[in-house]
Amino acid sequence: MMKMRQGVMAAALAAVAAAATEPARDYRRESPAERAARMAWFQEARFGMFIHWGLYAIPAGEWNGQPVPGVGEWIMSRAKIPLSEYRQLLSRFNPTAYDPSEWARIAKRAGMQYIVITSKHHDGFCLWDSKETDYDVASTPWGRDLLKPLAEAARAAGLKMCLYYSIMDWQHPNYDPLPSWDAGRSGHRPDMDAYVRYMKAQLRELIEGMGPLGILWFDGEWEPTWTHNRGVDLYNYVRSLQPSIIVNNRVDKGRKGMAGMTAEGEFAGDYGTPEQEVPSRGFPEGVYWESCITMNDTWGYKKDDHDWKSVTQLIRMLVDVASKGGNLLLNVGPKADGTIPPESVERLEAMGRWMEVNAEAIRGTTATPFRRHRFRCTKRPGCLYVHVTERPADGWVSLPGLTNRVLSARLLAGGTSLTVGERNGEPAVELPTVLPDPHVTVVAVSVEGVPGAAARPPAQDPETGVVHLDGEEARLLGDLKYEMATDSIGEWRSDDGRAEWTVKVVQPGRFRVEIEYACEKASDGGTVQVTVVDQAVSGQLKTTGSSHAFRRLVLGELTIPSVGEWGVSARGRRRESAPTLMHLRAVRLLPVGGP
């Protein structure tokens, strides 16, 4: 819809006049307390539903009878479809089975706390009746807004309504650049200032029409025409319309690739957005993040994508994310008829059954107190939750370095109380002979105070025999530095850098040595050497594509002759003229053969 009523016009002019007299406020500056209060619901939620829905659900991954590789919502780009052709989908969009209350029920029953739906994806199609364009749901046979009814259903179910909005737009006549595959499109006049006015008008419609919203989830910010200044301005604009709103970091240019966290600097955005990955560890308090993940391999519905993650994988992913202090935004891609694929619904129902029993170990918790633990853990004042995925051979879960007095322990499933004792001088809890939940069995350990843990030096896992040495725990010589952003040791700029560990070995024997590393293209071809006492193993480092993409490399085998404390060190040689050697995340010694 495009007509502008006179009242609306007058209101818009008044707003412009008011904005001109008021000093612009920079919403990036707020006190830690203000920020924490604004982020509180997000921090507690831990689990939300992402919904990718639009015209692309109609072709569902197939164009002119041919399967199109890649994610479904990118079909316009992947199949190089001109707008003149793609827009014909408008006349076929009629989701007669759309039932927003059912969607809200599915999310709620899964244990989710919020919904983020694509109000407009990269293709530019708008799921509400926008005054600013005809390229919207009002121009389809369905003919009416899809978002407000969902907002109402979500709120009725106690869920926060949130919107995704793509900055990149393959349809708008002023977006810059015009999509490369559609160079012959007529009437295109690149003008980012005009396009920004369009975005702002739409965002005002959304916030004023659907509000109050939980999150505005921007995306498609990576093209060079989108600048830091524009990002800051848009962030402030959105916050000025609803000061309490949460805005993800893709509003600005600070996002670091798919790892998604925000770079150092004055970047706008309230939280990091890892995409299709979970960070290797958590972040300091006050750093918020949310991993967005698909259940198969596409965001928008694709009829041929059957690569579904299992319920166990999904539950363990939620636990992994919560144990690191983040949120999981799990995607569904509804079909063109308005139904969520049954494979997604089944999985969400199973997650819901798990959450019914175990939600207290997820919702409202914070990250594990342990630097390193056999199992994922979460905590709240008075309680530590251990998410057990496998029964240790001796049946005890040990809590090395726990600083709190343990009062009691029980399984969340069934409430069975468990024996509390000590193992190897550390507090421990005895598990039943059979774990009741094949996905994750949660042990709730009641403690005095807020669960905390003292650091423990690296030690061999007494059960598996594995020695795991984290980059973060190494003593570093030369210029080496541990970098939190990549969770690895970097700055291997001269060949005298060395990382050293001392590890307590309880089961000596033969070990296979492997490293976990990343290596950017320019540094391809260095060598790395790991030494234990007088034995060395080494290997060639091939590029992993970037300093964020980690891979394992087996270096060889060596023997640790006896029980005791042993020194392990890693060093290397760069290829001549290479800027650096690698990023080293971990060294592992894996027992080979029998014990």
The site for ligand H79 (CB under 6 A) is made up of: 52, 71, 73-74, 219, 222, 257-258, 275, 292, 299
Residue 292 CB, nearest approach to ligand H79 (Å): 5
Q: Which helix (H) or strand (E) holds 402?
A: none
Q: Which is nearer to ligand H79, 268 or 578 (CB)?
A: 268
Residue 528 CB, nearest approach to ligand H79 (Å): 27
Q: Which is nearer to ligand H79, 274 or 465 (CB)?
A: 274
Residue 486 CB, nearest approach to ligand H79 (Å): 15
Residue 258 CB, nearest approach to ligand H79 (Å): 5
Q: Encoding tokens for residue 274? A: 């890892």
Q: Which is nearer to ligand H79, 164 or 370 (CB)?
A: 164
CA distances from 71 to 56, 76, 292, 401, 466 (A): 10, 11, 14, 45, 38
Q: Alpha-carbon distance 377 to 369, whole Å? A: 8
Q: Which is nearer to ligand H79, 222 or 455 (CB)?
A: 222
10 Å CB burial of residue 167 (0-12, 13-18, 19+) is buried
Q: Alpha-carbon distance 400 to 421, whole Å? A: 12
Q: Alpha-carbon distance 108 to 100, whole Å? A: 12
Q: Which residues pair with 511 in a beta bridge?
A: 558, 591
Residue 48 CB, nearest approach to ligand H79 (Å): 13
Q: Which is nearer to ligand H79, 55 or 399 (CB)?
A: 55
Q: Which is nearer to ligand H79, 341 or 465 (CB)?
A: 341
Residue 217 CB, nearest approach to ligand H79 (Å): 8
SS3 string, 50-93, reads EECCCHHHCCCCEECCEECCCCHHHHHHHCCCCHHHHHHHHHHC
Only one residue has tokens 């490293």, namely 515
Amino acid, res. 388: V
Q: Alpha-carbon distance 79 to 64, whole Å? A: 10
Q: Which residues pair with 560 in a beta bridge?
A: 509
Residue 274 CB, nearest approach to ligand H79 (Å): 11
10 Å CB burial of residue 25 (0-12, 13-18, 19+) is exposed
10 Å CB burial of residue 452 (0-12, 13-18, 19+) is middle
Length of the chain: 595
Contact 58, 92 (CB under 8 A): yes
Residue 59 CB, nearest approach to ligand H79 (Å): 15
Q: Which is nearer to ligand H79, 52 or 131 (CB)?
A: 52
Q: Which is nearer to ligand H79, 182 or 470 (CB)?
A: 182
Residue 260 CB, nearest approach to ligand H79 (Å): 8
Q: Which is nearer to ligand H79, 222 or 448 (CB)?
A: 222
Query: To the nearest 10°, the Cα dihedral for 319, 321, 323, 324?
Result: 170
Residue 277 CB, nearest approach to ligand H79 (Å): 11
Beta strands in 326-393 (DSSP E): 327-332, 366-367, 376-380, 383-388
CA distances from 380 to 113, 271, 394, 404 (A): 19, 22, 28, 13
3-state secondary structure of 418: strand
Residue 448 CB, nearest approach to ligand H79 (Å): 43
Residue 281 CB, nearest approach to ligand H79 (Å): 21
Q: Which is nearer to ligand H79, 113 or 291 (CB)?
A: 291
Amino acid, res. 15: A
Q: Which is nearer to ligand H79, 165 or 501 (CB)?
A: 165
Q: Which is nearer to ligand H79, 46 or 122 (CB)?
A: 122
User: Pick from 264, 336, 315, 317: which is nearest to 53 by CA?
Assistant: 336
